[in-house]
Amino acid sequence: MLLFFGGAANFWYSFPKDSSPANWQVPKIPTIDGLLSQPAAVFIILALACLWLIIYFRAKAGVILGIKMITEKQPASFVSTFGLARNFVIRLLGVSLFLQILMGTLSLLIMTPVFYLFSTGATERAIILAVLGALVFIPAAFLVSFANILGPLFLVIFNMPVFLGVRAAISVITEAWGKLLWFSLLLAAIGIVASLLAVIASSPFVVLAVLSYHRGGQIFGPILLGAGGLAIFLSFQAVISAFQQTAWVLFFMELVRPEKIEEETVSVPDSALQ
């Protein structure tokens, strides 16, 4: 954010005195248009996006496995957890795609008739339908958002298939939605505070980068300062993400543990109790 505002300030003050930003037009960049018009470039971009998704889901599964192994007092290392995580990439991707498609379909079904009524001039009906749609969409978004958190945990920790993991996640959400809501709000508050600290820690680098550019006119120094601020901010964000993922795994294991104990108690034969 700070880098964006710093760049915006740099952009604003870079105009000559006889020109106005209001009359300025964005120049066309034929390089980007030419890049996107080439099939090879589009293929490379898609390949990089797929590679990023694979790394993301594998790292996520590795973090979950590592926390699980540590809590069970098993030896865990980056190499071992990252190696085992490759078995969960497809399933984690499947859960994410399934939930995103589900929410996209629901959004389309709700918004299409509302937009149609607005376009035909039936404003009152459109508003009523929009309110009714919101009453359906908000609980569904709540359910899907928590299923997107708990579903991967069921898949990795209990080695479940995609749809069974989603069904187990929905079952837990319907039974413990209050605890999940309060815990998510707590993590959100911690994340906001940590993000503010990240902004405060990286802001001197951005300010120095802008001042250095306007006073000295050199570009190399401001780039280094901006890169330093960005590195600090991203480091904070990485720590925040790791903390939140760890907290969710620990909270999840405590949340489902009573169900596991109850199932084990029921399965004990009567002869063993005599």
List, for residues 85-104, the tens digit of each pLDDT value.
Answer: 888 999 999 999 999 999 99
For the stretch 124-161, pLDDT in tens is 998 999 999 999 999 999 999 999 999 999 999 998 89
Percent of the chain predicted with pLDDT > 70: 77
As for how many domains the chain has, the answer is: 1
What is the C-alpha separation between 146 and 215, in angstroms, rounded? 50
What is the C-alpha separation between 51 and 49, in angstroms, rounded? 5
Segment among 218-222, 253-257, 263-267 with least mean pLDDT:
263-267
Mean pLDDT, rounded, for 44-72 = 87
Of 177, 156, 185, 180, residue with least CA distance to 95: 156
> Is residue 223 a part of any domain in this protein?
yes
> Is residue 209 a part of any domain in this protein?
yes
What is the C-alpha separation between 121 and 132, in angstroms, rounded? 19
The confidence score (pLDDT) of residue 1 equals 37
> Is residue 151 a part of any domain in this protein?
no
Structure tokens at 209: 């980068």
> Is residue 251 a part of any domain in this protein?
yes
> Is residue 197 a part of any domain in this protein?
yes
Segment among 114-118, 162-166, 225-229, 252-256 with least mean pLDDT:
225-229
> Is residue 192 a part of any domain in this protein?
yes
What is the C-alpha separation between 181 and 211, in angstroms, rounded? 44
> Is residue 204 a part of any domain in this protein?
yes
pTM for this model (two decimals): 0.69
Helices (H), the chain: 2-13, 30-36, 39-71, 78-84, 89-119, 123-157, 162-175, 177-216, 220-266
The confidence score (pLDDT) of residue 36 equals 57
The confidence score (pLDDT) of residue 148 equals 92
Which residues constitute the domain of residue 202?
176-258
> Is residue 225 a part of any domain in this protein?
yes
What is the C-alpha separation between 102 and 108, in angstroms, rounded? 10
